Structures are given as C-alpha cells and as structure tokens.
Structure 1
C-alpha cells in the first residue's frame, strides 16, 4: 500500500495525543516501563511534521516487551520486531481509515538510541534556525515525494545525520 506523505503545520493537540497514548502504553507494557518520551517532529513545536506521533519507550528489559505484544495489539498496534534497528521493538498504529497515527520505538534504558533521539529533539527545540531549516526541508520533500516515503526519508537522511552530530556536541557541552 502506498502511503501519502503529508507534511502539515504543528498541531498543539499532538501533545495531548502523545499523553493519552503514553498512558495506554504504560498499562500495556506494565512494570517494564521506565520512561516514555514524545519524540520526532510532532514534539518540536515550531516545525511542520507528518501527523504521526512518535513515542519512545524506555524499558528495563527489551526481551520482556515481546511478552506484551498481545497487549499492544489490543491497543491497535502492529508488532514489527526490531524493524531494522538492533535491540529495538517497533510498533505501528493506523486509524480505522488506514492512516498511520503512531510509531512506538522501544529501547532498553540507557540505550545510545534513547540518548540520540532525545538529544535530536532537545537540540531542535533549542536551536530555532536549524529547526526552521528542517521544517523547510520536510515541506519541500513532502511536495517532491507526495507518494514516495522512501524518497522523502532519503532526502532527510543527510540533514538528520548533521543534526545528530550537532545535537551530540551540544549535549556534551550542556553536561560539562
């Protein structure tokens, strides 16, 4: 199925959608949950984004997540396993019309992936010029690849790597 690439202005309701969904995920994954974070472009208040809520869940044991797949499925999620990233569990959720609404990325606490995602979000929320550049790139790629998610993602790859580098340096400066 071809998915439409839609990039829209920030919606303040995304925060509420994250909070509502995170409560349900906490119940589904029970005592394994350490923390839940809103990540991705919907967590950056100044930029355009695909209207898909990205949620990062830190757990004490990644293997225990698999034991709760049926609870995640009961919430409407597809269980995708690692889905290309070692030591991750990935879940997708679509609404009844088949439109993607949520991505859930689960990692063990202290995973370098957790640090990378949070640094990326925090860096862009604190560096508005880079956030605006990212927003403009996303809008341009959304127009160029309206039905080609791979083209859209490939177009962002270099920019994301550069922001990851800047975010890591910024985070180290904050910590020292």
Structure 2
C-alpha cells in the first residue's frame, strides 16, 4: 500500500481498502482529542471513492462550530503527529500528517463549519461520485490527464479539477 506524497507532487494510485481503515483510525484519534468540540468527522476526497484512483493522501473533514476551540488543541494534536498548517483556504483550518523531514504528506485534515457550505460540498461531492460511477470515472479521466500534465505542480493539478467539481456541485 502506498500512503503519502511529497508536498507539491501528484501521483494517482488505484483505490486501496486500507485507506478506509486508516481514515477510521484517524477519525478515532481526532474524536479522542477534540471530543465534544467536534460535531462530525468524515473521510472525504478521492480516497473515499472506491471506483477511482486517488493521490494517496487521506482527506478528512472535521465539522465544528468554533475554530478557536480547535486551535486550543494544537499541542495535543501535534503529539499525535497532526500539525496545524494555517487557514490559507477561506473558511477552513488545515492540519496535516506525514513525515516533516521528507516533506511527505499522508493526511490533509480540513476543519470547517459543520453544515456550512464547505462541509456540505465535501460530503455531497463524495456521496455523488460514490452513487454515480460514470461521473466518477469521468472525474478520474480528468485527474489522469492533469497528473500527466502537472506531476510536479499540485496547485495547477488542483486548479484544473475545479471546473468539473463546481459543475457537479452546482448541478445537484
């Protein structure tokens, strides 16, 4: 099983059932630390969609009502290898897991307002692709084209997916 990528790179892998198991363990760890300050935690992103390839980085959405409460756990999270990376995406806090020395990321943990637009988009996109394999396979085809074009430019890869993501979210 492959888990983790050097920051900024793109490499798609066939779905691996172990990703789900790792996500479950990560969710348990987050619940144990964050307790009642979390409303819900979900495995999201392409690693949560068995029909398609994904970057081997586990994406987790954590639904909360108060970002400041979550930041107060930074020291405890860091002891578990979960590092705060900031809020460069509007309306989110980002935490990562991985190997800092090799600059490899295994997890992206997105803290968002529970039931806010970001939460709903993450959950809806995952659920829609899981329920519509033909659309999921079209999404995979786009991802493969972008991987070939932008293997060393994750920002361009991510930006290249946005129109299709927006179309899927807006059509529902």
1:103 aligns with 2:111: no
Q: C-alpha displacement at 1:2, in angstroms? A: 5.8
Where do residues 58-137 of structure 1 align in structure 2 (5 Å cutoff)? 58-86=63-91, 88-95=92-99, 97-137=102-142
1:29 aligns with 2:26: no
- Between the two proteins, the alignment pairs up a number of residues equal to 166
Q: C-alpha displacement at 1:94, in angstroms? A: 1.5
- CA RMSD, 1 decimal: 1.6
Structure-2 residue corresponding to 1:38: 43
Which among 15, 22, 27 is matched to residue 20 of structure 2?
15
Taking the aligned partners of 1:40 and 1:12, their CA distance within structure 2 comes to: 14
Taking the aligned partners of 1:83 and 1:71, their CA distance within structure 2 comes to: 22
- TM-score, normalized by length of structure 1? 0.88
Gaps of 5+ in 2: 1-5
DSSP 3-state at the match of 1:80? strand
Structure-2 residue corresponding to 1:142: 147
Residue by residue, what CA displacement relative to the aligned partner does 1:132-166 show, whole Å, maximum 9, x if unpaired?
00111111111111111122112111111111112
Residue by residue, what CA displacement relative to the aligned partner does 1:101-155 show, whole Å, maximum 9, x if unpaired?
0000112322121111111111111111110001111111111111111221121
Which among 2, 5, 10 is matched to residue 5 of structure 1?
10
Taking the aligned partners of 1:108 and 1:146, their CA distance within structure 2 comes to: 32
Q: C-alpha displacement at 1:60, in angstroms? A: 3.5
Check 1:143–1:45 CA distance in 2 against 1; reply closer, same or farther (3 A cut). Answer: same
Gaps of 5+ in 1: 170-176
Q: C-alpha displacement at 1:30, in angstroms? A: 2.3
- TM-score, normalized by length of structure 2? 0.90
